[in-house]
């Protein structure tokens, strides 16, 4: 109890990145404020009154503390691991359309072929490497994004952090994804092989040893460069566009300031901003996605082989409509889950309009 009360009194959330107040104080809070106004204020009490947390967010976790980054990491695991696993059937059809467009000519026919040849269970083939791989990726993606966003903001200082915030979003997300892909790559390699070569393996347990025996341990990272090429632009677009879209929604579409919006409304805005950002992500990263699927499916294949077989037009368009639907839904759900978890542990949602005096207040701290 004492520790929680201490956090409530001393937690300071930088308002130029987040806005935390979501409801009006209770009558007791007003009475307490009135009593404080009629009594002499010491320097310590005055300082505490400036940083008291909002009533609906009692400061369970101090911003930018180790517990804060741990919470963001867990939120990333939930948001990426659960959503990617849920869309495994779509991902399965997409990968097979990229690898064998003659057999898997369209989305509907692709599902028909899978149902006929492998039954309902075939739609979730490769779900284990998907769950583990994207959980690891999500942990690094969101956890390190929050870290690098704060780190680069501190380097820039309050004035330049506000002025060049989009560059900070881009740099922070690129740095985070570079690390996240190292965690994802081995699982992605096995997943693609399991999904696109029936009979290769049932899943991760028998697929990983077979893959290593066939390609060697370094073969698990054969697709790391195309994966960086797919995921880093994807994540830069995902985070920077999300932050920008959410800020525009609060500024132009919602008549109420963010700190006065209900939590369900804030989470709805997070989902909407994430969905629109996901459409942009799919378009930007699709050529590299085709390369990753091709290289992980064909032993000894090179980028040149992929370009020669698929063609430039094929790299940009093959499987794109399905991926737009998949990634839009996926990204919207990820931001919704991530911010819902942050709210659950007492943290503010991501993004929003920065109050005008925020930079000046921060400079005084």
Structural domain boundaries in the chain: 61-221, 229-350
Residue 30, pLDDT above cutoff 50: no
Report which of 44, 212, 209, 187 is spatially closest to residue 126, judged by C-alpha positions: 187
Whole-angstrom distance, CA of residue 77 vs CA of residue 59: 23
Distances 103 to 99, 109, 118, 125, 177 between C-alpha atoms, Å? 9, 9, 14, 18, 34
Categorize the per-residue pLDDT at 318 as very low, low, confident or very high, splitting at 50, 70 and 90.
confident
Mean pLDDT is lowest, of 141-145, 204-208, 238-242, 351-355, for: 351-355
Contact 4, 58 (CB under 8 A): yes
Contact 181, 232 (CB under 8 A): yes
- Can you read off the two tokens belonging to residue 120? 């309902």
Whole-angstrom distance, CA of residue 287 vs CA of residue 230: 7
Whole-angstrom distance, CA of residue 277 vs CA of residue 285: 12
Query: What is residue 22's predicted lDDT score, i.e. its pLDDT?
Result: 39
Whole-angstrom distance, CA of residue 339 vs CA of residue 66: 18
Distances 175 to 31, 108, 169, 182, 286 between C-alpha atoms, Å? 48, 38, 10, 12, 20
Whole-angstrom distance, CA of residue 298 vs CA of residue 321: 24
DSSP 258: G
pLDDT more than 70, % of the chain: 80
Contact 36, 45 (CB under 8 A): yes
Query: What is residue 341's predicted lDDT score, i.e. its pLDDT?
Result: 97
Whole-angstrom distance, CA of residue 84 vs CA of residue 180: 15
Categorize the per-residue pLDDT at 354 as very low, low, confident or very high, splitting at 50, 70 and 90.
low
Distances 155 to 107, 125, 168, 236 between C-alpha atoms, Å? 47, 45, 10, 20
Element (H, E) at 296: helix 263-297
CATH number for the segment(s) 61-221: 1.50.40.10
Whole-angstrom distance, CA of residue 52 vs CA of residue 45: 11
Whole-angstrom distance, CA of residue 207 vs CA of residue 185: 14
Query: What is residue 353's predicted lDDT score, i.e. its pLDDT?
Result: 62
Query: What is the CA angle 324-325-329, rounded to 5?
Result: 110
Whole-angstrom distance, CA of residue 256 vs CA of residue 307: 50
Query: What is residue 5's predicted lDDT score, i.e. its pLDDT?
Result: 45
Distances 183 to 87, 187, 225, 288 between C-alpha atoms, Å? 20, 8, 13, 18
Query: Is the torsion defined by CA of 304, 306, 309, 314 positive or negative?
Result: negative
Element (H, E) at 318: none
Whole-angstrom distance, CA of residue 329 vs CA of residue 232: 19
Distances 73 to 68, 254, 270, 301 between C-alpha atoms, Å? 9, 30, 18, 35
pLDDT tens string 205-232: 999 999 999 999 999 999 999 899 888 9
Query: What is residue 294's predicted lDDT score, i.e. its pLDDT?
Result: 81
Query: What is the CA angle 186-288-222, rounded to 5?
Result: 30
């Amino acid at each position: 109890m004492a520790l929680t009360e201490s956090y409530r009194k001393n937690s300071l959330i930088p308002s130029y990145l987040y806005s935390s107040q979501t409801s009006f104080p209770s009558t007791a809070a007003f009475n307490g404020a009135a009593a404080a106004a009629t009594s002499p204020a010491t320097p310590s009490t005055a300082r505490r009154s400036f940083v008291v947390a909002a009533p609906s967010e009692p400061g369970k976790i101090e911003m930018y503390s180790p517990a804060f980054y741990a919470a963001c990491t867990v939120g990333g695991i939930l948001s990426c691991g659960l959503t990617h696993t849920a869309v495994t059937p779509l991902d399965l059809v997409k990968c097979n359309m990229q690898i064998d467009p003659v057999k898997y000519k369209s989305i509907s026919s692709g599902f028909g072929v899978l149902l006929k040849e492998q039954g309902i269970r075939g739609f979730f083939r490769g779900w284990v490497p998907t769950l583990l791989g994207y959980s690891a990726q999500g942990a690094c993606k969101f956890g390190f994004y929050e870290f690098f966003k704060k780190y680069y903001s501190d380097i820039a200082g309050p004035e330049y952090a506000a002025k060049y915030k989009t560059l900070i979003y881009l740099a922070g997300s690129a740095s985070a994804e570079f690390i996240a892909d190292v965690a994802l790559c081995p699982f992605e390699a096995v997943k693609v092989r399991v999904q696109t070569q029936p009979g290769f393996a049932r899943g991760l347990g028998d697929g990983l040893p077979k893959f290593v025996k066939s390609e060697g341990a370094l073969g698990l990272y054969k697709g790391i460069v195309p994966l960086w090429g797919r995921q880093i632009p994807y994540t830069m677009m995902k985070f920077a566009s999300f932050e920008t879209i959410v800020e525009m929604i609060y500024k132009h579409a919602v008549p109420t300031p963010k700190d006065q919006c209900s939590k369900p409304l804030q989470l709805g805005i997070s989902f909407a901003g994430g969905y629109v950002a996901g459409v942009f992500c799919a378009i930007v990263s699709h050529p590299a996605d085709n390369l990753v699927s091709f290289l992980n499916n064909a032993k000894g294949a090179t980028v040149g082989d992929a370009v020669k077989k698929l063609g430039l037009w094929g790299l940009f368009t093959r499987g794109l409509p399905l991926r737009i639907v998949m990634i839009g839904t996926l990204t919207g759900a990820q931001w919704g889950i991530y911010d819902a978890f942050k709210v659950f542990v007492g943290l503010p949602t991501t993004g929003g309009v920065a109050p005008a005096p925020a930079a000046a207040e921060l400079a005084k701290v």
